[in-house]
Amino acid sequence: MAQAESIAAALPAAIASDPVSAFGGVIAANRPVGAAFVAALAAAGLFVEAVIAPGFDDEALTWFAAHKKNCRLLATGAATNGPGGVAVARLEWRAVRGGLLAQTRDLGDPPDGVWRVVSRRAPAAEEVAALRFAWLAGQHVKSNAIVLARAGGATAATVGIGGGLPSRVDAVRLAVAKAGARARGAALASDAFFPFADGLEVAGAAGVTAAVEPGGSVRDDEVIAAADRLGMVLVFTGARHFRH
């Protein structure tokens, strides 16, 4: 996942987040696809199954027809009501034994939400940008979700993701392993609170400098103390995102 001044600029950073998983994957963009984007995709030399975007201009369609005939293109149409201008259904459905569960879709933090720095150290500007992007990306990762991200200039990107695991500390280990050396100096987001300090300690040992999580655990004091001991920034959002 990545954001930048354009989707063409964001694409290489998104692929670099996890090049192995990107192969044969699906690319989603929140802006129409044009010549600059397909040039970036051509330069990446990546096999892609599908691309979903608000639309595709004629030059892009011609390029896909000539160079990626088996790649499926899905145009969502004009944006309407969602965050970032993406049309979003307000309900989502889950199958349960004997019926269906309808629930309100998670569309982000409450508008009146407040982030609170609970560590002794306050975040630097680049850490704030990385924390914000990691938190946004984490909302779209299956829980238990851990996202590591870096930010600089107009670009922010994930560098390691651990998701869909029963154990939050294992999700941290996976995100750190995916990031490798890029974990050093990265920011971490956890979709729900850390129930123990162990996840933060694994992140700190890998060089992660800042973390954001909802807070609300009975062991919050232990987690805050671990952040201070490691010299890390720790931010509580008061909002929980739990994607299943």
pLDDT digits (tens, 9 = 90+) for 58-113: 999 999 999 999 999 999 987 555 555 555 578 888 898 899 989 888 888 888 88
Say if 92 falls within a structural domain: no
Residue 127 shares a structural domain with residue 55 = no
Whether the predicted pLDDT of 50 surpasses 90: yes
Q: Domain range spanning residue 209?
A: 116-236
**CA separation for the pair 18, 16 (Å, rounded):** 5
Residue 81 shares a structural domain with residue 123 = no
Whether the predicted pLDDT of 188 surpasses 80: yes
Tell me the per-residue pLDDT of 202-230, one tens digit each, with 9 for 90 and over: 999 999 999 999 999 999 999 999 999 99
Judge contact between 37 and 28, C-beta under 8 A: no
Say if 105 falls within a structural domain: no
Whether the predicted pLDDT of 52 surpasses 70: yes
Number of domains in the chain: 2
Looking at residue 112, its pLDDT comes to 86
Model confidence pTM above 0.95: no
Looking at residue 109, its pLDDT comes to 87
Beta strand segments in the chain, E: 2-3, 25-28, 48-53, 72-75, 91-96, 99-104, 116-117, 146-152, 155-162, 187-190, 210-213, 233-236
Residue 226 identity (one-letter amino acid)? A
Q: DSSP class of residue 124? A: P
Q: DSSP class of residue 243? A: B
**Best CA proximity match to 149, nearest among 188, 121, 114:** 188
Cα dist. 84→105, 129, 182 in Å? 15, 17, 27
Residue 136 shares a structural domain with residue 182 = yes
Residue 79 shares a structural domain with residue 158 = no
Contacts of residue 217, Cβ cutoff 8 Å, sequence gap at least 6: 193, 194, 195, 223
Looking at residue 107, its pLDDT comes to 82
**CA separation for the pair 171, 49 (Å, rounded):** 27
What is the domain-level CATH number for residue 196? 3.40.140.20
Say if 93 falls within a structural domain: no
Residue 155 shares a structural domain with residue 209 = yes
Judge contact between 158 and 176, C-beta under 8 A: no
Residue 29 shares a structural domain with residue 133 = no
Looking at residue 81, its pLDDT comes to 52
Last residue of a domain, one of 44, 71, 87: 87
Residue 69 shares a structural domain with residue 141 = no
Residue 70 shares a structural domain with residue 133 = no
Say if 204 falls within a structural domain: yes
pLDDT mean across residues, the chain: 92
